[in-house]
Structure 1
């Protein structure tokens, strides 16, 4: 009986091909992607047990990193350890990376053309509607009725909106506050404490020791990869503060267009970093940004994986993550308001954003890429045909 439990009913090649396909045609964002994984790998093919899937979900929510990418890495690790995690993670991310690379090239070459500007006029406003609705769903699902978490959410939302930047230390402090309030620490519990220390270390302020842009991109996006908790949207305020405000690699319109590109491509939403890296420093900038973003995600998935069953449910760790998540969601909400304030500049853009949010809220089966394409057509109509 014990031997049957260890029998693997699929090859590593099977799993890699599955994630290559999912990374190529998997639309709908992180929640949809992990849903596809459960439907196919647990229910349909029965390659992964329900227990293994749930443990992967718990670890993905706990550790920093984009949810869907972490789940793919963890599921690759289940039966094929580090080799499986590495190959599956690459297979899942590579298709969308190549797509955003092609889009980055087209955008850089033709971004000044009236047709391209018209497309992103409609798309940019639609993105505001999409991320507003996503932020609302993320908030209600993650925070619930906890008054402490709501307080943290409001403080971070207001802070981000007023200062137009996110504060990493305030987010980390939120995690520590909830940890101390809900599960007062026993500092002798070294093993549990170790699982919290790495994100803190990667959150240390970035020091500009070199003017080389590739080096700056690598360091900045390493921080970005260590910051994202649960949803790719959590990276939006962080990227905005760094790429637009601090380093000025992108204009505000370019940043919004980068978010739009993430919405119209399959795979993890965080892959927008490849597009941003391309605009900042060409193909090597794209490679540096993507590699630096996903490396922390990989490390924080495979290293704790062997020990997660034993320590993952510790109250201190859960409390810390709850606080960080509430703060990150607050920063997302504040960031949406900042971007919206600058993007919704006339009646058509306001109407496009409102109609996008309403359609996605009412008709839940409609996927974001369809809305994006439709609003791109609206932008073309308004700008090129009606000369609005």
Structure 2
């Protein structure tokens, strides 16, 4: 790999410092993509100043266009910027590992005991804190990315397309990018990338790679076998009808079409896992998604729950061993491609940062991403504050609305308390999470008495 030459006086961030930051992000990454992106923005941009707002959004725009969990890919991208391949591996693994371990523990408990009310109570308050953090992130991101009226309009249109008309978000992002390309070619100043509003961030510590055909071939030669060699071995040794092979085949295909995160592919995953493969009983997919919502890491971690139950019930091995192997296969086939997409594409995306027309496209995507995150935040908020959410489908309108009679006043009180801690008392992240978690446990106990 040909590394871009940099000054000998570059700012240094040690691997040890990065390790502990990624470890903290990994164990606190609750709330789905909106919460995870908000957390990374707060720590990496606002607190640490390791990347500028523009660099952060540039990476996020690329990750939004990829299949798979965008927050996981964003962590890998920024880890790669900080410490190249080793940094990307460290960031991605530490982002995923807490959720993998927690999901295994919850899957084992679920198989033995059914739903785990104690876990739901434990994270009752934590969800309220995450919602408050997401709201803060949407406000900060909007202030920095929406520099003028056309960008506000584009963000609003993206939000309406997603929230009101349920248009697939990859299509929304693609349309925004095409609009930005047109704006750039026409020289519209509204989509010329602006500064973040901060003092300049020293980014001399960030690395890059000169993209080339040989670089791409090297990445493909390493990461395609890492991803697919286990599947090839299972096909050879176990045959195509073995449950582990079926899990590997299913989730390797799913990794290529998971645009929009867990909820976008949940119906397809449930149909195949329940009706075709018979790994789960009806209704268990929603139980798995509920467990995934209580763990750190991406919500698509529900694939591990599906693989666990498939291996537990169909492998013929000791149930626990079969479940662990099935869950590991599902996670491997789902998340390894994220490393491939970033290590392969990030050098090319970085090389485009100084091209005006393409920057206009990315500026338009950034504006649309504000609408995307607002939609995610609102969806998450509905499910935190209300017990029931229904869909309103009238003509082209297809939107989620809360059942107002199902308002959870305890959850609403926790959200308001967390917002007060953040915006009035200006408490730190750990303080907000700790206070909210403690209050959530107490309120759950009181409301259950």
Classify the TM-score, shorter chain.
0.5 to 0.7
CA 254–96 in structure 1, closer or farther in 2 if over 3 Å, else same: closer
Alignment deviations for residues 199-232 of structure 1 (CA, whole Å, 9 cap, x no partner): xxxxxxxxxxx993443333334433xx46xxxx
SS at match of 2:76: helix
The answer to whether residue 340 in structure 2 is matched with residue 299 in structure 1 is yes
Q: Distance in 2 between matches of 1:176 and 1:9?
A: 33
Correspondences of 1:32-181 after superposition (within 5 Å): 32-37=39-44, 56-64=55-63, 69-70=72-73, 72-78=75-81, 80-112=83-115, 116-117=116-117, 120=120, 123=123, 127=127, 129=128, 133=132, 136-143=135-142, 144=146, 145=149, 146-160=152-166, 167-168=168-169, 170-176=171-177, 178-179=179-180
Higher relative contact order, chain-length normalized (CA < 8 Å, sep 6+): 1
The answer to whether residue 311 in structure 2 is matched with residue 279 in structure 1 is no
Q: Distance in 2 between matches of 1:368 and 1:244?
A: 33
Match of 1:379 in 2: 444
Match of 2:225 in 1: none
Q: Distance in 1 between matches of 2:438 and 2:252?
A: 32
Match of 2:317 in 1: none
SS at match of 1:102: helix
- 1:247 Cα deviation after fit: 5.8
Q: Distance in 1 between matches of 2:173 and 2:9?
A: 41
Higher helix share: 1
2:19–2:90 Cα contact (<8 Å) kept? no
Q: Out of 205, 215, 230, which is 2:249 matched to?
A: 215
TM-score with structure 2 setting the length: 0.56
Alignment deviations for residues 15-56 of structure 1 (CA, whole Å, 9 cap, x no partner): 6743564356556744334544468876xxxxxxx5x66675
Q: Distance in 1 between matches of 2:26 and 2:37?
A: 14
1:19–1:91 Cα contact (<8 Å) kept? no
CA 296–150 in structure 1, closer or farther in 2 if over 3 Å, else same: farther
The answer to whether residue 411 in structure 2 is matched with residue 353 in structure 1 is yes
- 1:63 Cα deviation after fit: 1.4
- 1:57 Cα deviation after fit: 1.9
**C-alpha RMSD of matched pairs (Å):** 4.6
CA 317–302 in structure 1, closer or farther in 2 if over 3 Å, else same: farther
Whose radius of gyration is greater, 1 or 2? Answer: 2
Q: Distance in 2 between matches of 1:330 and 1:9?
A: 32
Q: Distance in 2 between matches of 1:133 and 1:179?
A: 31
How many equivalent pairs are there? 328
CA 299–280 in structure 1, closer or farther in 2 if over 3 Å, else same: same
Correspondences of 1:221-232 after superposition (within 5 Å): 221-224=255-258, 227=259
Match of 2:183 in 1: 182
SS at match of 2:388: helix
Gaps of 5+ in 2: 1-5, 31-35, 188-240, 275-279, 309-323, 390-401
Match of 1:367 in 2: 432
Match of 2:264 in 1: 238
Q: Distance in 2 between matches of 1:20 and 1:142?
A: 21
CA 108–351 in structure 1, closer or farther in 2 if over 3 Å, else same: farther
Q: Distance in 1 between matches of 2:338 and 2:186?
A: 26
TM-score with structure 1 setting the length: 0.64
Match of 2:361 in 1: 317
Q: Out of 9, 14, 37, which is 1:5 matched to?
A: 9
- 1:334 Cα deviation after fit: 6.5
Match of 1:256 in 2: 290
2:122–2:441 Cα contact (<8 Å) kept? yes
- 1:158 Cα deviation after fit: 1.2
- 1:152 Cα deviation after fit: 2.4
Q: Distance in 1 between matches of 2:435 and 2:134?
A: 19
- 1:318 Cα deviation after fit: 0.8
Gaps of 5+ in 1: 43-49, 161-165, 187-209, 229-234, 263-268
